[in-house]
Amino acid sequence: MNRAELGVDGMVHWLDDPAHRRFLVRDALAALQFFDASIGSDGGFQTLDLSGRPLPAPLELHVTTRLVHSYALGHLAGRADEAGIIDRGMDLLWRAHRDAQHGGFVWSVQDGSVADGTKLAYGHVFVLLAASSAKLAGHPHADRLLADIAQVLHDRFWDDSAGLLCDEFTRDWQPFSSYRGMNANMHGVEALLAAHEATGEGEYLRRAGRILDFFIAGQAAAHGWRIPEHYDAGWSPDPGYEGNPMFRPAGTTPGHSVEMARLLLQHWDLAGRPDTDAPRQARLLVETALADAWLPGGGLAYTLDFDGRVARPDRYWWPVTEAIGAMAALIKIEPWPADEDWYRRLWRFADATLIDHDCGGWFPEPGAEGRPGTGQFLGKPDIYHALQADLFPLVPGLSQHARTLARARPLKS
C-alpha cells in the first residue's frame, strides 16, 4: 500500500478524491484477506495474532457476529467471501451459540461446549446486526435467525416503559445484577437500524429513536455533550461504577460519543431528515469528544472523567475508526472547514500508527517506538470497526450503506 496515495492536498474533499478512495479500497481488501484465516481447522472461528496465526481462546458471540456482518458488507461491496466466513458464521450462530434449551445466545463456546452461558444484551444485539446484514446479502438462513433474535430481544431485553435495553441474565434468564449500560444500547441502535434497512419494519426504527433520545437529547445534553456509560436499575447515571476494563470502564468514552453521533445521523436520514436538532446534536458530540480526547501524539484517549479530563490515555484503534465514520457523515451533510482537517488528521494517524501495511488489518493499540502495543488485546480482535471506516466513506449517503455498496461494488476486482 502506497502511503503517498492516502490523499491529495487542495480544495477537494478526501471523500471525493480518487487517490484516497483507492486507499480505502486497498485497506478494506487487505483486511478481508487477513481475516480470511479466521476459520479454524475444526470449522469454527479462531482469534488471530498480529501475523494471522491462531490464538487459543473461547469464541465469543460478538466475534462471530461481527465477522458475519463484516463479510456480508464485503460481499455486497463486490469482494467474494472466498473463505466462506458468512456461511460458517451463520452456522455457528445457529448451532453453537444459540441455546436450544433456554433460548437466546450464549456468550462464548469452546471445543463444542458452552464456555460462558451468560446472556448479554451486548452480544444479542450483534446477532440482530449479523442476521440483518446476512439478509441484505441474500443468505438463505437469515430470515430464520432474524425472527429468532428479534423475539428474544423483545421478550427478554426490551424495557418498553423506559424505551431501552436491559443488560444481563444468567443462562436460564435469571437477573443477577441491576446494571444498565449505554454500550449495549448504542449497539442496539446500530442493529435496530440495520434490521429496519433489511426489513422495512418501522418498529425497529421507532425503538432506535427512543434509545437515541434518552442518551443524546437526555443524558448528553445534560452532561456537557458527554454520555454517561453506566446506570442503575432506574436508569439514573451511576458515576462511581467501574467494571470490565474493556467493555465497562469508569467515566465516559469519547469513542462512543462519535459512534452515537454517526448513528444519530443514520436514524435521522432513515426517518426522512425531519426538521429536528439531530445534525446539531451530532456535531456537538463529535466536537466535544475530539476536543476532550485527542492526545498530543495523536489518537483518542480511551476514557474521560465527567468534566472531560483524560482518565485513561490508552489509544485504541476503534475510537479512531468511529471518529472517521462520524466525521465523514458530518462532511456529507454540511461540511465545515475544520471537518476536512479532522478527517485527514484521523486517517494520517491511522495510516502511520495503526494500519498493518505488511499483513493487513489494524493493530489494536500503538506501543512504544512505533511498535504495536499488547496491553489490553491479544492479536487483532476484529475486522468490524476498521472495515466500516473504509467502506462508509465510499458511499454518498448517511444510511442504507449495504444497498449502496451493492450498487457501487467498490471492492470488485
Catalytic residues: 256, 385
Burial of 81 (0-12, 13-18, 19+ CB in 10 A): middle
Angstrom CA distances, 6 to 17, 319, 331, 387, stand at 9, 20, 18, 16
Backbone angles phi, psi at 340, to 5 degrees: -65, -40
Element (H, E) at 8: none
Residue 100, C-alpha cell as written in the block: 436450544
DSSP labels, 230-278: EE-TTS-B-TT----TTTS-SSB-HHHHHHHHHHHHHHHHHTT--SSSH
The cell numbers describing 401, all together, are 450503506
What is d(CA 117, CA 99) in angstroms, rounded to the nearest whole number? 9
| Cβ count near 18 (within 10 Å) | 11
Helix count (H) and strand count (E) of the chain?
14, 13
Residue 282 CB neighbours (<10 A) = 26
Angle between helices 182-199 and 254-270 (to 10 degrees): 30
Enter the C-alpha cell of residue 230: 453506566
Residue 40, C-beta contacts closer than 8 angstroms, at least 6 positions apart: 46, 54
Q: How far apart are CA 237 and CA 126, in angstroms?
A: 24
Cα distances (angstroms) measured from residue 229 to each of 160, 188, 242, 409? 20, 14, 10, 37
The residues with which 180 forms a beta bridge, in sequence order, are 231
CA 225 centroid distance within chain = 20
CB proximity list for 183: less than 8 A, separation 6 or greater: 122, 229, 247, 248, 253, 256
**Residue 242: other Cβ atoms inside 10 A:** 14
Half-sphere exposure of 226 (CA within 13 A, CB side): 25
